[in-house]
Amino acid sequence: MNSENITKNILFVTSLIILLISIGMVITLVSGSIPIFKEFGFQFIYSTEWDPTAGRENYGALPVIVGTLITSFLALIICLPLAFSTSLFIAEYYKGSIISKIIGTLIDLLAGIPSIVYGLWGFYVLRPFIVQLGLSEQGYGIFTSSLVLAIMIIPYATSLSTEIISLVPNHLKEAAYSLGATRLEVIFNVTVPAARSGIIASYILAFGRAIGETMAVTMLIGNRNAIPHSIFDIGNTMASVIANQFGEAEGLKLSALIAIGLLLFLITAIINYLGKLVIKQFS
Amino acid sequence: MTARPIKNSIFKGAVIVFSLIAITPILLIIYELVRKGYKQINISFFTEVAPSTWDAMMANNNGELIPGGILNGITGTLLMVFVASIIAIPIGLITGIYLYENAGKRYANVIRSISDILQGSPSIVIGIIGYFWVVKYITNGFSALAGSVALAIMMLPLIIRSTEETLKMIPQTIKEAGLALGVPYHKIIMRVLIPTSFSGLVTGILLALSRVIGETAPLLITALGSPMVNFNLDKPASAVPLLIWEFYNDPNMVNLIWSSSLFLVVFILTMNLISKKIAPKKN
Amino acid sequence: MNSSIIEIKKPIISIQNLSVSYEKGKNAVNKVTADIKKNSITAIMGPSGCGKSTLLRAINRMHELYPNIKTEGKILLNDQDISRLSLIDLRRKVGMVFQHPNPFPSMSIYDNVISGYKLNGIRQKKSKRDDIVEKSLQDVALWSEVKDSLFKKGNFLSGGQQQRLCIARALAFEPDVILLDEPTSALDPIATSKIEELLVKLKKDYTIVMVTHNMAQAARISDQSIFMYLGDLIEYGKTKVMFTNPSDKRTEEYLTGKFG
Ligand SMILES: Nc1ncnc2c1ncn2[C@@H]1O[C@H](COP(=O)(O)OP(=O)(O)OP(=O)(O)O)[C@@H](O)[C@H]1O
Ligand SMILES: [Mg+2]
């Protein structure tokens, strides 16, 4: 074999590693989930009961699935106006200015703060504030978690959409201005439509982030495996139930947690894939 | 007709207000960390291991600073991040080069998608994988190695994609110039591609490092934590975020939470800023 | 008034001492004074970077989009200072066509033509809208080519068709003046000659100011020509006179291809 081929083979073989890792991940998660599905079948997914007491063990994932979706949706909704405004601020209104650079840097810094620090901040700063507002007695729950999640995903929702908005060519906007449109009209009739897929994709990806976020939510959501009655109620998410209970779990309970991990993996994979599809449509 | 300019101004005002709201949390978080954390940062904070609950309680009762520091966390983080880098950097770089060289081919697209999915999968799920692959079958117990593997799996996709993106920025002509001179393939990689894109590659690696240094959830179920400095890969190890989690769960340690978080955040943000500084400018 | 500048009676546009700078202390357009004749075609010529686009874009206050650009001097439109007009009114009266065809990619052909009304929130009956679209597309000789695909996006059109669509978009608003910045430089000769024909036809109803790099084009269709060099207006006169008997040496050199 000549050196050319050796190099090519090394590259190829190394690229197999990530393939093997992901196949291995799926195998591990699936085989770990088999016991729980054998025991409860698909009832595991729609049952609302979570009872580890020996003898009447029952594990239902619906409360944590619902909890995950509600917190993440709420987070996205809170995040949207903030992220959208920030993108417009940086890529449209004050494009290229120093103030935009500062704001962009500060938003990027948000992505660097570890989840656990968000959790602490939520616990010690936000939670008392929520109690003061009288929104909930203890300050824990869906709403508090969503608020912190919303902050955590701002950089993900902002960075891609900012980039795409700033790529909208000037000549398109100028065509609209030359017809007498105001800036607002140009934004909504030209800029946003042209950048649409990129903007949507960045919100989808941010949503995926929110779904998998663990520590901060674990510290704030209240960790009760029941379907929440309102957004100020406490609840649990898929990621936090794993983080909380994995350590001492065995048998069926362990299998239930792994199955939740598998579901979480699949949901985020689908969401990310969707996001990528939307971006592709753009380019 | 005058409604249009008014709407235009109102919208601009809203954009500015929302953007300012979006950057408030990072300022509040940093303010809180500095305000509550700076007191505990002294020499022993870096040279001593975490105190026992008892010592912390005594200090609190006497109104003194809590003795001890986070040495076990710092060494554990360094150890696990180091081992994770040894695993992830070569594989990530080579796979990234493979994707760049084979862009557009079907298999490469599969690898790229897998890498994206892995990048989006929740860290807690990767923790589960680290648990099953290493804790259960290799080290027969929680271990620094398991933590390292989990962190490595998280770093891999980040490095792969940043490598590919960085290489794509190299003008095709530079590569062709090398090929035209009859330079062998591996030499083009080592002497042309890597040096030309060096700063970009380093940026990608630094960002991947800063992303995993703050991870708590996966370490919680792999490395577990340890009260001692430990460089033994098959024994449990601590990490700064794990210590924060322990301090958070121990009412006597509250004061240490903030200083450890301050340290962690400053460390990560500094890495982020450095990587931004050396990043090649897009144009 | 400078001898190399013709006098226009009752000009529709009057540019007075206009200077525009992108960077402090460097005028891209330097104290330009010129009157534009109604219902005629005025060509702006000159070597690359001499300030043609900059001058043209000042007429509909396009520079105000970019805060670092400074404009001095005055431009009158029908004896009114354009800086006193609202941007909305000004741009209704002064339409613009750009160098590269830029139909809105998110809109259908129909919506592109009517986009001036849409963007300005002007509501109209469907029948009125249909009329405007048809007439504008007729005016640019595009109607027969696209009447069956009005509600498709315009990206399947050729470059020349797209540019005619952009002209239709400007015409739909019935402006007084149309500004065109090298409208044919991205087009092939056949598409170019179609647009030239069109412009000659349009001057009956509109006043046309056009930047062009193509001297033959200026000679073929313009009535007056402005020659600029390094931001200065060097010569302004009837096209026929200027091309046969330029009064400035730099104009002559440019027209004979010595530079440019
Ligand atoms: N956005 C800008 N920022 C800074 N300088 C600019 C900008 N646009 C144009 N200039 C400068 O202003 C001068 C005039 O530019 P302008 O575009 O008006 O020239 P032009 O005559 O239209 O050239 P061309 O024939 O190449 O289109 C040039 O020196 C140019 O470099
Ligand atoms: Mg120009």
Q: Is B59 domain-assigned?
A: no
Span B189-203, pLDDT tens digits: 888 888 889 999 999
Instruction: Determine what percent of chain B is predicted with pLDDT higher than 90.
Output: 73
Q: Looking at the complex, report in whole angstroms how far the Cα of residue A204 sits from the nearest Cα belonging to chain C.
A: 21
Number of domains in chain A: 1
The CATH superfamily holding the domain C13-99+177-255 is P-loop containing nucleotide triphosphate hydrolases (3.40.50.300)
pLDDT at B283 over 50: no
pLDDT of residue B53: 87
Q: Which residue in chain A is spatially nearest to B89 when comparing CA positions?
A: A14
Give a yes or no: residue A2 inside a domain. no
Would you state the pLDDT for residue A181?
92
Q: CATH code at A231?
A: 1.10.3720.10
Residues A194, C105: C-beta atoms closer than 8 Å: yes
Is C103 in contact with C159 (CB distance < 8 Å)?
Answer: no
Report the CATH number at residue B135. Answer: 1.10.3720.10
Q: Is residue B111 part of a domain?
A: yes
Q: Which residues 132-171 in chain A show a CB within 8 A of chain C?
A: 169, 171
Residue-level pLDDT at B60: 86
Q: Is residue B6 part of a domain?
A: no
In a domain, B171, yes or no: yes
- Is the predicted pLDDT of residue B66 greater than 60, yes or no? yes
- Specify the pLDDT at position A48: 92
For the cut 70, the answer to whether the pLDDT of residue C4 exceeds it is no
Q: How far is CA C228 from the centre of its chain?
A: 16
Residue A51 domain-assigned (yes or no):
no
How many domains does chain B fold into? 1
pLDDT band at A283 (very low <50, low <70, confident <90, very high): low
CB contact under 8 A, A175 and C118: no
Summarised one tens digit per residue, pLDDT across range B84-138 is 999 999 999 999 999 999 988 999 999 999 999 999 999 999 999 999 999 999 9
Average pLDDT over residues B18-31: 97
What is the pLDDT averaged over residues A167-172? 92
* B94–A10 C-beta distance less than 8 A: yes
Which residues neighbour C247 within 8 Å (Cβ) at sequence distance 6 or greater?
C3, C4, C235, C237
Asked if the structure places residue A273 within a domain, the reply is yes
Our answer on whether the CB atom of C52 is closer than 6 Å to any ligand 1 atom is: yes
Cβ burial, residue B87 (10 Å; 0-12/13-18/19+): middle
Domain coverage including residue B246: 71-281
Which residue, B243, B238, B281, is CA-closest to B263?
B243
| Predicted confidence band of residue C259 (pLDDT cuts 50, 70, 90) | low
pLDDT > 60? residue C1: no
pLDDT, position B177: 73
Number of B–C residue contacts, CB under 8 Å: 6
CA distance C104 to chain A (A): 7
Rounded Cα–Cα distance for residues B146 and B271 (Å): 24
Q: By the CB < 8 Å criterion, does A98 face chain B?
A: no
Ligand 1 contacts CB of residue C212 (under 6 A): no
Could C88 and A182 be called an inter-chain contact, meaning their C-beta atoms sit closer than 8 Å? yes
Q: Is B35 on the interface with A (CB under 8 A)?
A: no
Judged against a pLDDT cut of 80, whether residue A237 lies above it is answered with yes
Q: Is the pLDDT of residue C253 over 60?
A: yes
Please report whether residue B160 resides in a domain.
yes
pLDDT of residue A282: 64
Query: Residues 6 or more apart from B260 whose CB is under 8 A from it?
Result: B37, B70, B73, B240, B243, B244, B247
Average pLDDT score over chain C: 91
Is the CB of C50 inside a 6 Å radius of any atom of ligand 1?
A: yes
Distance A91 CA to ligand 2 centre (A): 25
Nearest CA to ligand 1 atom 28: C49
Q: Which residues contact A107 (CB under 8 A, 6 or more apart)?
A: A86, A154, A155, A158, A159, B22, B23, B26
What pLDDT is stored for residue C260 in this prediction?
54
Chain A interface, best mutation among B28, B121, B242, by max A CB count within 10 A: B121
The parent domain of residue A193 ranges over 58-282
Contact of A128 with chain B, judged by CB distance below 8 Å, is answered with no
Q: How far is B10 from chain C (nearest CA, A)?
A: 17
Q: Are strands C207-211 and C177-181 parallel, antiparallel or unpaired?
A: parallel
Assess if residue A24 is contained within a domain.
no
Tokens of A135: 């929104």
Q: What local confidence, expressed as pLDDT, does residue C3 receive?
A: 47
Query: Which tens digits make up the pLDDT trace of C194-205?
Result: 889 999 999 999
Do B139 and B115 touch, CB atoms closer than 8 A? no
Q: What is the pLDDT of residues A59-107, one digit of tens each?
A: 999 999 999 999 999 999 999 999 999 999 999 999 999 999 999 999 9
Report the pLDDT averaged over residues C229-252. Answer: 92
* Among C19, C23, C50, C254, residue to substitute to test ligand 1 (most atoms within 8 Å of Cβ): C50
Answer whether A183 sits within 8 Å of B12, measured CB to CB.
Answer: yes
Tell me the mean pLDDT in the region C106-115.
91
The chain-wide mean pLDDT, for chain A, equals 94
Q: Which residues of C touch B4 (CB under 8 A)?
A: 88, 120-121
Average pLDDT, chain B: 92
Sheet with C26-36, strands from edge to edge, namely C26-36, C13-23, C70-77, C80-81
Query: Considering the domain boundaries, does residue A108 fall inside one?
Result: yes
* Set of chain C residues whose Cβ sits within 8 Å of the Cβ of A184: none
C115 and A176: CB-CB below 8 Å? yes
> Residue A186: is its pLDDT beyond 60?
yes
- Ligand whose nearest atom lies closest to the CA of C227: 1
Q: How confident is the model at residue C124, as a pLDDT? A: 86
